Structure formats: C-alpha cells, structure tokens
Amino acid sequence: MAITIQNDTGLITLATCNTEYQMKTDEYGVLLHTYYGAKIYGSDMSETISCRERGFSGNLTVGREEIRSYSLDVLPQEYSCAGSGDYRISGLSVLDSNGGRSCTLRVAGTRTEKGKYSLEGLPHVYDENGEAESLVITMKDPYSALEAELQYSVFEKSDIITRSVRFINNGSEAIQLEKAASLCLDWQFGDYDWLTFYGCHAQERNLQRVPLHHGVQSIGSTRGNSSHHYNPFSILAEKNTDENSGLCFAFSFVYSGEFLMEIEKDQVSQTRLVLGIHPANFSWKLEPGMSFQAPEVILSCSSEGFGKLSRNMHKIIRDNVCRGEWKYKQRPVLINNWEATYFSFDAQKLISIAEESSKLGIEMLVMDDGWFGKREDDYSGLGDWYPNEKKLGCSLKELGEEINKRGMKFGIWFEPESISEDSDLYRSHPEWAVAVPGRDPVLSRNQLVLDISRTDVQDYIIDRMSDVLSNAPISYVKWDMNRSICEKYSASLSADKQGEFAHRFMLGLYRILEELENTFPHVLFEGCSGGGGRFDAGMMYYTPQIWCSDNTDAINRLNIQYGTSFGYPVSTVGAHVSAVPNHQTGRVTPFATRGAVAMSGTFGYELDITKLTDAEKEQIRRQIQRFHKYYELIQRGDYYRLTSPKDPCVIWSFVAPDKNSALITAVSREITANSAPVHFNVPGLDDRRLYNAVFVLPEADDRPLKVIEKISGAALKNGGLTIPVVQWWEYEAWQVEITAAD
C-alpha cells in the first residue's frame, strides 16, 4: 500500500516506488514531520528528533504547566502556524474576530481514500487510471472554530506526492486568513543548495543555484500572475548533486497567480520550505460554515540526481496535469503571422502566407493581434472582440474557409483579460477595469486589466469568445496576457474583502478557461503571457502548451529551454523558427540551427514565409518531415540534459520509453580556435543492447556524415560519442540518430 497508518504509534508513511515520506502524531497531538527521502522501508525516523530546552524558544504548556524540553520553535512539523511558539516562517497566519493572531493545530483524525482528491475551481493533478491513493489529516485549533484538512495523494509508480490544504470555519464568527500556504516541509538535517529559476520578459527561467545560509531566502510574485521573473518551481539539493547522482527534491506550485516560496535555515541548521499564495496581497474572510481551498503543490524526490527528478515532473505534468483532446494528439506545425506582419495585414496577406506554407507541409496558420475592433496598434481595441471585417476585407468565417481550402487549419489570437481605454467596452463599462478609485490607473503596454474576479466580466468574455469560435472554423486559440497587475482592487468587493481580489482573479480565469474548453473541446488552446510570464503547472491544466518566451533567438532559447526543462516537459514548450537577423537580438544563426532548437518543443514558424529563399523553403520542408519522423520521441521521450548552456556546446537528448531509439541535438554556442573535440556520454539506453548511431549535420541536407554500427548502450553511457572532426562553426547544429541494431 502507498499509505500506511499505525494507529498505535501515530506513524503515517507515504511510499512511492523509490521514496518515503513520513510523519507522526506525538503525545501532545502535534503532527511532526519525520522524514522525506529514499526508501527506508517503514522504519520510524522520529527517533532522530531530539527534544531539549532551547533558550528564547517558546515552550509547550499543558494545564498551565510548562514543558521546558518541548518547543515548537525547533521541532520538525508537518504544518506550522504563526503565533504558536514557532518563530520560523510558517504556513498559516490567522486573524481572529478579536484581533488575535495566534493559531494552534492538533491532529483530530485521519482517513484514506482510493484515487486522487480533486480541487473544485482549481487546477490539480488528476488520476485517470486509479493509481493514486489519498490521505486527509484533520487538524483543529482547540481554542477556535478553525479546522484544516491536510490533503495528500500518492502516485506510487511515478515517485510523486501532491499536497494541499482546505480550511473550514466551524464557528459563528468570521475568521480572517492572512496566510494560507499549501505546503510546509521540514528537514532536520542536511546542507543544501537551492535551485530557482529567475528572469525577466524575453529571458525567462535562468537557473540559479545558491547555498542555503542561515536566515530566510525567498522567491515569489506580486504581479498578478506567476511572472517571467521567478517561476513557481524550485529544487532543493544536497551539495554534490548533479544530473545523474545525488539527493534532490522538486516543488511545483499548480497555480498561475501570485506566490511566495520561502526557505529558512534556522538556529539549529534545520531547513524549512513554505510554498503558497503570496500573503502580501492576500487576506481571505472565511465566513461561518464556509471553507477555503488552497492550491496544490507537486512534490518529487530523487536520489539519482536532477535528471531523474525532471523526468518524474515531466511525466506527471504530461500525463496527469495536461488534459483534453490535445493531451497526446499530434499537434499541428503552425506559422504565426506576428513577426511577419505585426498589425499590418489583411486577408489577402494571410492567405498568401497560407498558400506558401501549405506547399511546405506547415499545417496551421495563426492570425495574431490586430484582427478585431479598432486595433491598428497597441493603444486601442482590447475588449472589443468583434472581427474587423473592413480591415480584413471579409468575414472571419470567410477567411477561415479560405485558409482551410489551402489545406491549413486556422488559429486566432486573443488577449481576453485586458482592456484598452480606447475601446467600446471601456466606454460602456469603465468599472470593469481594475483600478483604485480616486487614483490614476497604472498603464502597461497602453492597456488596463479586466476585473475577471467579477462573474459579469467572466460571462462577457465567455460570450464574446464563444461567438467568435462558433462562427468561424477556428482550430486553435493563442491566449495571451501582456501586462502585470498592479492595483489589486475590485469595484465589486467590499473594503474588508479587497484582499481576496488577486486569488478571485485567478479563480475567474480558471472558470473562463474551463467553460470555453468544455464548449469547444476540439480547439487547441495555447497559453501565453508575453511569452513565458505564466509558464506554470496551473496553466498546463487548461493549455497543454505555452509559448515559452517571446525571445525567438535560437542561442538565447538554449538557456531558456534548458531552465524550463528542469520542471516542465517538452510537450508544453511553444518554440518557433523565426527570421534573422533576430528581431530581439539582431543575431544571425543558421536556418538549420533555428529548426533544431525549435524542434525541442511544439514546433512552428514565426516569420514571413513569402520572403524566404527557395533554399530556406526547402529546409522548412525537410525540418517538418524530420519533426514528424521523431514527433513521438520528442514529445513523449525521456529528456536528458547532457551539457549546460555554460558549455561551448549545448547538448540534449530524447530517449524512447522502450529504449529502442534516441535523438541527440548539439548546438555550438561558442567556438575557439584549435578547440578540443566535442565529446559527450549518452545515458538512458539499455546497457546490453546494440545500437547504430548516425551523425547528421542538418545544414548539409541531412546527409549522414558518420555512422557507428553496433555499439552497446553501456558503451554509449560510459564511453560516449565524439562529434566528427569536420569544420565546426559557431551556432551550428548537429543531430545524432540512435536506433536499435537488433
């Protein structure tokens, strides 16, 4: 069984195939966290907890008697509370009706369930195959009417545990939740590094690895969404951990809004990590008889390094977070007109792009910003989701049909959460824009944010988008959000509930997406927020792919996609080939290299195909054929990082789940004169099987330039491969195709 409860000792164990997670109720009803790591086969690790008096740490009192050797300030706990005598960062902060801020949670009961718990109105890991087992631990505050249900699900074969918390007010007076984290996790021992993924617009998810120091370190977002700046995913790792060895832990927040991830090394060198909704703009009035559901966190542990940890996360997101018709269905290779035309296009221009694209094997044309309302630039039109037939020269239905006649699917861009002041919608409903009364609003990209915490605004968006999607042959929606939210205020909320705005905004977004996807199940929705500003597991529940970054420069993308790969599968990564010089960096890279990098994603094009040379068009034809050939391997294979973007040559591979084949891509990031050979090992294949390895230089018409026959998987893993000694230019790409020889 994945979950075992020893009622006589209070020990609870959550077991996956390679790890165990353990907690124990002590004699005072406190739920202690005793272990998370590699398998220990049910041994009770509470024996490692040392109780002793600590100066200036509050002590437990029982019947007004102080227990000097017992302090919550140093004990490892499963879910900590502020005002309980624990001075470290905590998971829960409560404001009572009398103004008090103390809270104490004690175990009141446990229950197990087959299957996975679900979270109403929130994205979450789901269980289609009956793999999961769930645990609910009921915690009560003996001094108030607050109850907390700690929720756990275990995916034994996947080495995954999920956690969440539900808060219930069983009293007759309101309780104010000031902080309601989804996860609190303690480690008594260990010296760790913390891996986080920082960035900015067009430079998302840069890996940062820093040692934990005494004190509090944190990442988070108060920008209204998860942001380009800090991703809601991190890794805690022992000092010696690398790609293939060492103990490490992953934490992924299944939420797209504001978050705070804190980690503290305390007075006795213990480590605590707390993750949840950012408390800076959060305060939830929990009315009598009501409940509040915190979002979910995905946890995984690996004693085999970052590679195994990433593959655990890839699989659970690909198989148990992404949903719908497009979860596994082969997605079309698309071309987006944004970098080709920006706002300057009409139907004839789009049809000319479609005609040329269809000849080369591209399967979908996506019409980006500028097709609706009075939208000739980014100063106007957002919110007026009515096709501009005068600009297009035809109806949206007619345009879609013309695209379809060319053998192409038709996709369309929306930015439903934003509104322009110069729009009919704003003139009709200025109160629908997010703004603080009496203050000039903060603009960004010349636009305001729609208050989708309101059901009337949600209904408007659902109605307008449904009308557009129902009246034209649209197969794809690019869902964009091009600004952060500054003012956290809703005209529909009372003063004592303004702290609920940011979370209600996200609940509104999730409701809109859920209803539209239920109504239009055949439409492929791609997420976007200025590229990667909302690249998180929460959005992947609704959009199985997300535009990874607005930065389409192939060399910059090496770093962006490398960082992304630690927590998210390639099948979620929107990646396109764009024109050169690149419109963001001015860099010129070979067409084949741009294709090789974009191929490690959902794959498409972002350029004016009518302006390409015949040689470039032929490369597109070959790239698409190659992508189709390896589609399943790329989208569902096991991903391995073989080098990093700090290395002169960046190398990664996909290995088929059955270990029959692999595809390796190498991109020269930096060349020096008289450089050393590029050599790399190839893990993941069957040690005892024999394979053939074919080296291909995509720039050279995909002709095999070197073939190695009947080399064992063990030789590939331990001995490795060397890129052939030919002229090796900067920014050039190689690929190696490996297939079973037997």
Active site residues: 536, 616
Between CA 575 and CA 548 the distance in angstroms is 7
CA atoms within 13 A on the CB side of 435: 19
Partners of 238 in the β-ladder: 192
Q: How many CB atoms lie within 10 A of CB 41?
A: 7
Q: Could you please report the per-residue DSSP string of 443-465? A: PBTTBEEB-TTSHHHHHHHHHHH
Do 19 and 159 meet the contact criterion of CB atoms below 8 Å apart?
Answer: yes
| CA pseudo-torsion sign 235, 233, 593, 587 | negative
Strand intervals (E) in 309-422: 334-336, 364-367, 409-414, 418-419
506: enclosing H helix or E strand: helix 501-519
Phi, psi of 312 (to 5 degrees): -60, -45
For residue 55, CA distances in Å to 70, 269, 279 come to 11, 16, 30
Please, which residues have CB within 8 angstroms of residue 497's CB and are 6 or more apart in sequence? 285
- Burial class from Cβ neighbours inside 10 Å (0-12, 13-18, 19+) for residue 588 reads exposed
Tokens encoding 347: 């139907």
- 154 DSSP β-pair partners: 133, 161
Residues forming a β-bridge with 736: 664, 695
The tokens describing 432, both together, are 């629908």
Answer positive or negative: Cα dihedral of 506, 509, 515, 517.
Answer: negative
Asked if residue 392 lies in contact with residue 347, where contact means CB atoms within 8 angstroms, the answer is yes
Half-sphere exposure of 671 (CA within 13 A, CB side): 11
Q: CA 62, 169, 507 angle in degrees (round to 5)? A: 130
Assess contact for 285 and 174: CB atoms under 8 A.
yes
d(CA 479, CA 545): 11
Task: Quote the radius of gyration of the chain (alpha carbons, Å).
Answer: 27
Sign of CA dihedral 574, 579, 582, 584: negative
Distances (CA, A) of 271 to 161, 252, 605, 710: 19, 18, 46, 49
Task: Please report, in angstroms and rounded to a whole number, the separation of the first and last CA atoms in the chain.
Answer: 39
Residue with tokens 């109605």: 463
